């Protein structure tokens, strides 16, 4: 894979996964950080003249991401783009993973034609957390389509479906749909590992209780009342959680180093071998390009 080690213009496209929902920013009340911000913070230290934009907005469907974010992203002439879309479509009844893949294919084609390196993600295995919804098969079909799109266009596909780490409950927020802060850090480490950027993870990201069994949630009634019911009501009313929201970083800009993590301070000396390569090695990367795994 010929991913540039130090991109100068990184633009992130997508929905709540890329906006960073589930990872509250420790220094900005009401704002979310997320894996893309975490990646940008590291790249800003490693890459000269680095700039970053995040156009992702929670709740957006694939067609909205393409119509609202793709054009602005292309005008920024990025050399690195992340594109993750379709998750909100997949969880809706009646959605067709094959039809969705057509929209993804067109978007990735446009991004790759611009010369940018494109990062894509398969959906994680959500069956254990949302088994009553019967979504596992749809996600699996969608993921196979994404593999084909990535292979056809030379995009880099990060395989979250195969990650055992993401079967652990601490990787997820209480709503079971969004990653926790630990989960977002996990994704950031995978992305940086793909780019061959050294990243030392906080120990809580993987050195927690090891439980490879599907997470069990004792209070399903509470979850349904607090998270499922509001989602259903929004669907019935035709509302989106992202309605009226704007992207948090709509234009390319430099990224300030803020050191919001307690383990990122110079005083913290992680034990040997805590880098992304060995800590996050169970999340495979699939790419149609040769050279790197």
- Per the domain annotation, does 1 fall within a domain? no
Counting DSSP H helices and E strands in the chain, the numbers are 11, 7
- Per the domain annotation, does 49 fall within a domain? yes
Q: Which residue bears the tokens 């030392």? A: 200
- Per the domain annotation, does 86 fall within a domain? yes
Per-residue pLDDT of the chain (293 residues; tens, 9 = 90+): 444 468 999 999 999 999 999 998 887 777 899 999 999 999 999 899 999 999 999 999 999 999 999 999 999 999 999 999 999 999 888 899 999 999 999 999 999 999 999 999 999 987 655 555 568 889 999 999 999 999 999 999 999 998 988 888 889 888 778 899 999 999 999 999 998 887 765 433 333 333 334 444 445 555 445 544 454 555 555 655 556 789 999 999 999 865 555 434 333 233 333 333 223 333 445 544 433 33
Domain count, the chain: 1
- Per the domain annotation, does 3 fall within a domain? no
Q: Which residue bears the tokens 């949302």? A: 130
- Per the domain annotation, does 50 fall within a domain? yes
- Per the domain annotation, does 144 fall within a domain? yes
Name which of 139, 273, 135 is nearest 198 in CA terms.
Answer: 273
Instruction: Check which CATH number belongs to the domain holding 91 and give it.
Output: 3.40.50.1110
- Per the domain annotation, does 4 fall within a domain? no
Domain that holds residue 53: 9-287
- Per the domain annotation, does 292 fall within a domain? no
């Amino acid at each position: 894979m010929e991913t540039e080690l130090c991109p100068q213009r990184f633009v992130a496209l997508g929905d709540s996964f890329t906006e960073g929902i589930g990872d509250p920013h420790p220094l900005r009340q009401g704002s979310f950080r997320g894996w893309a911000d975490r990646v940008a913070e590291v790249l800003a230290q490693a890459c000269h003249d680095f700039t970053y934009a995040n156009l992702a907005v929670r709740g957006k469907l694939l067609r909205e991401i393409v119509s609202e974010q793709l054009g602005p992203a292309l005008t920024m002439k990025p050399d690195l783009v992340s594109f993750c879309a379709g998750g909100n479509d997949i969880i809706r009844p009646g959605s067709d993973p094959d039809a969705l893949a057509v929209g993804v294919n067109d978007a990735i084609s446009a991004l790759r034609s611009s010369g940018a390196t494109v990062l894509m993600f398969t959906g994680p295995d959500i069956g254990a957390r949302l088994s009553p919804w019967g979504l596992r098969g749809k996600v699996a079909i969608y993921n196979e389509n994404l593999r084909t799109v990535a292979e056809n266009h030379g995009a880099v596909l990060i395989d979250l479906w195969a990650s055992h780490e993401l079967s652990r409950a601490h990787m997820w927020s209480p709503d079971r749909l969004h990653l926790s802060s630990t989960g977002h850090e996990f994704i950031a480490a995978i992305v940086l590992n793909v780019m061959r950027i050294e990243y030392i993870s906080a120990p809580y990201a993987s050195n927690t209780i090891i439980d490879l069994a599907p997470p069990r949630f004792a209070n399903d009634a509470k979850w349904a009342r607090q998270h499922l019911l509001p989602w259903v009501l929004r669907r019935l009313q035709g509302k989106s959680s992202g309605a009226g929201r704007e992207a948090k970083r709509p234009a390319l800009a430099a990224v300030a180093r803020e050191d919001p993590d307690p383990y990122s301070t110079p005083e913290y000396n992680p034990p040997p071998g805590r880098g992304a390569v060995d800590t996050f090695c169970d999340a495979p990367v699939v790419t149609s390009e040769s050279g790197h795994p």
